[in-house]
């Protein structure tokens, strides 16, 4: 049991948690509308100045002199305004894609099967941002130039510039667009920079590190989070020479991936200010452009081909695209034992149980029970070892008292005791060490699981959000983290004690630390850990009850010593 002082410290930590939550909610109230959807698609503008959004934060320059990370600048007063914007739309059951004559790229993508925070259709690279798949650094065919855009058939759109460049886009049956760019010899450089798009927060208060530029090259996965992108842009290093099979910009649940026929040779990235007003908090997104090599034809013309995926971060869909595009899920490769191997297994396990019972809360419960069955023998062995170690606690206390002024001699005698009676002082840590890879993998899988977004279970309205049932003075009351903390305290009370009493007191603070860590995490992850904790308590109680009559006394004196 904890002493009075320890209890007061724990209570103080909980009060600090409540106060900090209230202060954060007061300073940064949640937005009633999703941050990524700045405006609904507007009617075609009559001139260029009508569609100019706020300038980008630290735009990233490209070799061609233009910038990514900002909207096309308004023309000078002496210049003629651009022709009115023309929009051509392609759609299938998954997405609606608007192609614009301004820059000849993708003005916006509506994901018809996904809803935003205000229950409207989720939009990627929305109106007001630099069009995706427009070019940078090509004279007469950049994001500021006007293309003639027309539908060739129900699934194909072509954009033609006055300089002779032609883009052909073909919509597939899923979230994929196949693209081909051809340009005359007078325009053709060795490579062309293609804007991948701008990733914006998928939900209010999204952590900046969830906004990332990813790529895969030379069998290595690389990423640049928004904070790192901002640092590199500030240092004047927005461009990297790379060799990659694909490049992506992504948020927590959605992504845009450009995958050319030939490897990308470079990437240029930047940050974008998405704040709808000048008042805080500042909302930022991340944008990138890929350097795609061109293939020369016999007549000197050049071309390149690529696919562009714009949709949810769904493991099976991304894996089907090839080139290891599933790696942008960011729970590792199959060779990464800590996250990749377990991550892939957990994804397939969740999908398997969901097919049996179509509720992801139930799927998480069943996966947790299955994992507990697998790890049951390991924890049982650990409990048995700790119980055996408890028998020698009187001897350990005598040694501590005898050698309290000689720590080195105390350690030597302790090791003799452990060796003589085959005691493993680290046995209590074994279950945690073994299950740590699974916890890390579950954290990464559930963090990126688009299927959990909006999925309900019992009182939980959204498994991708904390399980808040109500708020008190601005503090959200989340039952799962509180239950998990209570279970952890109870488990520690049941655990056979052994070792340094000071270390035992320190371990009593572990539940409070876990409460801080889990309190604002997704309910799906907290559901897994809380249930796993409950099952561990039940196993602990069952094991202790089985061994209640096992009272074999330990030797009266340390091994090899007499009175």
Q: How much is the pLDDT for 24?
A: 42
Q: Answer yes or no: do 321 and 421 share one domain.
A: no
- 56 and 12 co-located in one domain: no
Nearest-CA neighbor of 149 among 141, 157, 138?
157
For residues 297 and 386, state if they share a domain: no
Distance of CA 245 to the CA centre of its chain: 21
Distance of alpha carbon 202 from alpha carbon 125, whole angstroms: 11
| Cβ neighbours for 426, distance < 8 A, ≥ 6 positions apart | none
Helix (H) or strand (E) holding 307: strand 302-312
* CATH code where residue 126 lies: 2.70.98.90
CA 525 to chain centre: 13
Note the pLDDT tens digit of each residue in 503-560: 556 666 677 777 888 888 888 888 988 898 888 888 777 776 765 545 455 555 444 4
The b/e string for 66-79 (b: 16+ C-beta within 10 A; e otherwise) is bbbbbbbebeeeee
Task: Choose one of 330, 364, 399: the last residue of a domain.
Answer: 330
Which ranges in 113-265 belong to alpha helices (H)? 226-234
- Residue at 264 is within a domain: yes
Q: What pLDDT was estimated at residue 52?
A: 31
What is the DSSP secondary-structure string of 495-542?
SPP-S-HHHHHHHTTHHHHHHHHHTTS-HHHHHHHHHHHHHHHHHHHH
In this structure, the answer to whether residues 256 and 368 fall within a common structural domain is: no
What is the Cα Rg of the chain in Å?
29
Does 557 fall in a domain?
no
Instruction: Please give the Cα distance from 347 to 211 (Å, whole number).
Output: 22
* Cβ proximity of 489 and 13 under 8 Å: no
Q: Which residues contact 84 (CB under 8 A, 6 or more apart)?
A: 44, 45, 46, 47
Contacts of 483 (CB under 8 A, 6+ apart): 530, 534
Query: What is the 3-state secondary structure of 47-109?
Result: CHHHHCCCCCCCCEECCCCCEECCCCCCCCCCCCCCCCCCEEEEECCCEEEEEECECCCEEEE
- pLDDT given for residue 219 in this prediction: 61
Among left, alpha and beta (phi > 0; psi -120 to 50; other), residue 289 is beta
Burial string for 521-550 (b: 16+ CB within 10 Å, else e) reads: bbbbbbbbbbbbbbbbbebbeebeeeeeee
Degrees, nearest 5: CA angle 262-264-266: 155
In a domain? residue 135:
yes
Are 125 and 85 members of one domain? yes
> In whole angstroms, what is the distance from residue 108 CA to residue 124 CA?
6
Identify the helix (H) or strand (E) that includes residue 306. Answer: strand 302-312
- 382 close to 549: Cβ distance less than 8 angstroms: no
pLDDT at residue 193 in the model: 93
The verdict on residue 60 lying in a domain is yes
Please report whether residue 345 resides in a domain. Answer: no
At residue 494, φ and ψ (nearest 5 deg) are -80, -25
Instruction: Report the pLDDT value the prediction gives residue 288, as an integer from 0 to 100.
Output: 95
Are residues 363 and 322 part of one domain?
no
Q: Which residues pair with 256 in a beta bridge?
A: 249, 310
Q: Is residue 174 in a domain?
A: yes
Residues of the chain with pLDDT under 70: 1-80, 117-119, 218-220, 277-281, 332-340, 383-390, 392, 422-434, 494-509, 544, 546-563
Cβ–Cβ under 8 Å, residues 403 and 410: yes
Do 220 and 180 belong to one domain?
yes
User: Where does residue 162 rank: exposed (0-12), middle (13-18), buried (19+ CB within 10 A)?
Assistant: exposed
Q: Are residues 291 and 435 in the same domain?
A: no
| pLDDT, position 38 | 31
Per-residue model confidence (pLDDT) at position 68: 52
Residues 243 and 120 in one domain: yes
Query: Are 396 and 502 found together in one domain?
Result: yes
On whether both 172 and 242 belong to a single domain, the answer is: yes
Strand-pairing partners, residue 333, are: none
Domain holding 479, by residue range, is 4-25+355-546
Backbone conformation region of residue 133, classed left if phi is above 0, alpha if psi is from -120 to 50, else beta:
left
Q: Per-residue pLDDT tens for 250-307?
A: 998 999 999 999 899 999 999 998 877 666 667 889 999 999 999 988 888 899 999 9
Q: Are residues 319 and 369 in the same domain?
A: no
For the chain, the domain total comes to 2
Question: Is residue 436 in some structural domain?
Answer: yes
Give yes or no for a contact between 123 and 79, defined as CB atoms under 8 angstroms apart. Answer: no
Query: Is 558 contained in some domain?
Result: no
């Amino acid at each position: 049991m904890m002493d009075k002082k320890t209890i007061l410290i724990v209570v103080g930590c909980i009060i600090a948690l409540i106060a900090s939550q209230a202060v954060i909610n007061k300073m940064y109230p949640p937005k009633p509308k999703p941050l990524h959807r700045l405006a609904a698609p507007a009617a075609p503008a009559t001139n260029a100045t009508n569609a100019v959004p706020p300038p980008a934060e630290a735009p990233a320059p490209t070799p061609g002199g233009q910038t990514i990370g900002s909207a096309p600048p308004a023309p000078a007063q002496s210049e003629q305004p651009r022709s009115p914007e023309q929009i051509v739309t392609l759609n299938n059951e998954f997405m609606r894609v608007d192609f614009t004559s301004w820059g000849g790229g993708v003005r916006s993508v509506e994901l018809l099967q996904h809803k935003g925070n205000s229950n409207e259709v989720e939009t990627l690279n929305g109106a007001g941002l630099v069009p995706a798949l427009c070019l940078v650094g090509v004279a007469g065919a950049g994001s500021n130039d006007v293309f003639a855009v027309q539908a060739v058939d129900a699934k194909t759109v072509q954009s033609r510039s006055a300089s002779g460049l032609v883009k052909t886009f073909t919509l597939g049956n899923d979230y994929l667009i196949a693209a081909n760019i051809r340009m005359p010899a007078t325009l053709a450089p060795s490579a062309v920079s293609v804007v991948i798009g701008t990733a914006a927060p998928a939900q209010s208060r999204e952590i900046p590190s969830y906004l990332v530029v990813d790529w895969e090259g030379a069998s290595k996965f690389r990423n640049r989070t928004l904070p790192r992108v901002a640092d590199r842009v500030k240092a004047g290093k927005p461009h990297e020479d790379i060799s990659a099979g694909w490049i992506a910009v992504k948020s927590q649940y959605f992504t845009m991936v450009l995958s050319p026929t030939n490897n990308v040779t470079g990437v240029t990235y930047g940050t974008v200010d998405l704040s709808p007003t000048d008042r805080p908090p500042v909302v930022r997104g991340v944008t990138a452009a890929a350097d795609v090599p061109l293939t020369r034809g016999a007549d000197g013309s050049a071309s390149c081909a690529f696919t562009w995926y714009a949709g949810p971060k769904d493991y099976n869909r991304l894996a089907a695209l090839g080139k290891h595009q599933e790696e942008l899920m960011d729970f590792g490769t199959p060779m990464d034992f800590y996250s990749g191997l377990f991550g892939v297994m957990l994804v397939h396990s969740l999908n398997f149980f969901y097919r049996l019972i179509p509720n992801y809360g139930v799927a998480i419960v069943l996966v947790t029970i299955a994992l507990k069955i697998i790890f049951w023998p390991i924890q049982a062995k650990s409990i048995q070892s700790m119980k055996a170690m408890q028998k020698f606690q009187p001897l350990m206390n005598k040694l501590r008292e005898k050698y309290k002024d000689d720590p080195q001699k105390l350690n030597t005698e302790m090791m003799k005791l452990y060796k003589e009676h085959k005691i493993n002082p680290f046995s209590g840590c074994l279950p945690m060490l073994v299950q740590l890879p699974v916890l890390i993998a579950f954290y990464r899988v559930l963090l990126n699981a688009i299927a959990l977004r909006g999925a309900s279970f019992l009182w939980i309205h959204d498994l991708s959000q904390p399980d808040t049932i109500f708020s008190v003075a601005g503090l959200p009351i989340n039952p799962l983290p509180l239950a998990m903390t209570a279970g952890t305290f109870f488990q520690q009370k049941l655990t056979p004690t052994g070792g340094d009493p000071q270390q035992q007191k320190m371990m009593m603070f572990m539940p409070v630390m876990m409460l801080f860590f889990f309190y604002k995490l997704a309910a799906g992850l907290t559901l897994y850990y809380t249930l796993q904790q409950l099952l561990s308590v039940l196993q602990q109680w069952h094991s202790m009850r089985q061994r209640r009559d096992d009272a074999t006394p330990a030797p009266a004196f340390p091994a090899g010593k007499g009175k």
